[in-house]
Amino acid sequence: MRLCPGGPVVRCVRVCCGRGRWRVCIPKCVRSTWAYTHLLARSLCYNTLTNWDTVNDTLFEPVFWTADRLTRLFGQVFVCLVVVLTSSIVLIAYMVLLPLVLHTYAPWWIVWHLCYGHWNLVMIAFHYYKATRTPPGHPPTTKSEVPFVSFCKKCVTPKPARTHHCGICNTCILKMDHHCPWLNNCVCVRQMYFSLSVCVCVAWLNNCVGHFNHRYFFSFCVFLTLGCVYCSISGRNLFIDAYSAIERFKALEAEPAGVPVKGVGLLIGIVPPEAVNGQSSFQTPPPTFTLKDKLLNKSIIYMWVLTSTVAVALGGLTLWHAMLISRGETSIERHLNKKERTRLAKRNRVYKNPFHYGCFNNWKLFLGVEKRSHWITRVLLPSGHAPYGDGLTWDFYPHRKEPLPV
């Protein structure tokens, strides 16, 4: 064995000849660093079931962590924003639109607006209150006989069917659909008693949309969309008039003032008698509108723009959830079922959703309709009835094709 001539970089690597072959001897510190880096790289592919989704989730874990913490932090802000915006629309409707309706509309049209408007308002307030106050439902943390299909690595507890972990709430949710920051809640399935204060409930809750409050969330979206469409359609003519009035106000304010008249005497019909000092000026007469007129017209424009925008955005979200309900899926299950269908299609097999009972039966199960009168008492009127099932066990399609023969 001999050292290779050269500088310190060359001398740190010893070339050894043993048993008929050359071998490069690398310092221990370099080998340790390389082994640790190689172990980290291999940890991204720890078994044969790992795919690029697992690798991407691992790489973007800091991004997901930051998004979860920000959503949890701003959840109360989003809830307060919903309350403030909704309250502002209600205030404008009572202070601006209602007097106009009472003075300009026919009596039967007034009755229609009063009845429909207050019914819609009650349904919006009730379902939003229940959606924020109702916990979504959680799997048992103690030992039980409930069957489970997987194991949560973060909660270290068994997960029943349709249960998923919410990173924002940091717990498992029964039949989780998504975490809604506007509810500061996860959408799920459980019923609780009413609280004494709406302000406290909407400001300090933080859970998901799942099995026990999914119906409240969807009903809130439906009735809020209907209310926005109602305000947008009924206030269209008022919006056009208000916008024209604002444009007239801007035109009047843009008119230049009168040209000063100086150095003239007392001219009858030209200079007013008060101008005895030889100086006067003619100004444009004061505007015919007041600050109250501007505020009323701007409030009508604000209401129409806000309700029209929310109607389009929330209407699309409501249609998306209606499609999922018709298929017996949640937002998470939509993604999982799509991947499962793709996987089985490569094997020439067809995937069937075990929780799909048919479009009409899915709606009856979701809304809790057990007889015909429930379409009125439980759908068109405020109702706090519990959803179908306990969210832990589910009837499967091959065993029950007609869950509710209504």
Could you identify the residue written with the tokens 């009924």?
234
How many C-beta atoms lie closer than 10 Å to residue 219's C-beta?
21
Classify strands 171-173 and 179-180 as parallel, antiparallel or unpaired.
unpaired
Q: Token pair of 251, please? A: 């035109």
Task: List the one residue out of 317, 253, 326 whose CA is nearest residue 290.
Answer: 253
Straight-line distance from the first to the last Cα atom of the chain, in angstroms, rounded to the nearest whole number: 91
CB-count exposure of residue 277 (10 Å: 0-12, 13-18, 19+): exposed
Could you identify the residue written with the tokens 């064995």?
1
Q: Token pair of 89, please? A: 């629309």
CB-count exposure of residue 216 (10 Å: 0-12, 13-18, 19+): buried
- Contact call for residues 234 and 113 (beta carbons, < 8 A): yes
- Contact call for residues 136 and 185 (beta carbons, < 8 A): yes
- CA-to-CA distance for 202 and 78, rounded, in angstroms? 10
How many C-beta atoms lie closer than 10 Å to residue 91's C-beta?
12
- Active-site residue list: 180
Could you identify the residue written with the tokens 């307030």?
125
Task: List the one residue out of 285, 283, 288, 280 whose CA is nearest residue 264.
Answer: 280
Dihedral pair phi/psi, residue 261, rounded to 5°? -115, 115
Buried b (16+ CB within 10 A) or exposed e, 43-59: eeeeeeeeeeeeeeeee
Dihedral pair phi/psi, residue 173, rounded to 5°? -120, 135
CB-count exposure of residue 147 (10 Å: 0-12, 13-18, 19+): exposed
- Contact call for residues 297 and 248 (beta carbons, < 8 A): no
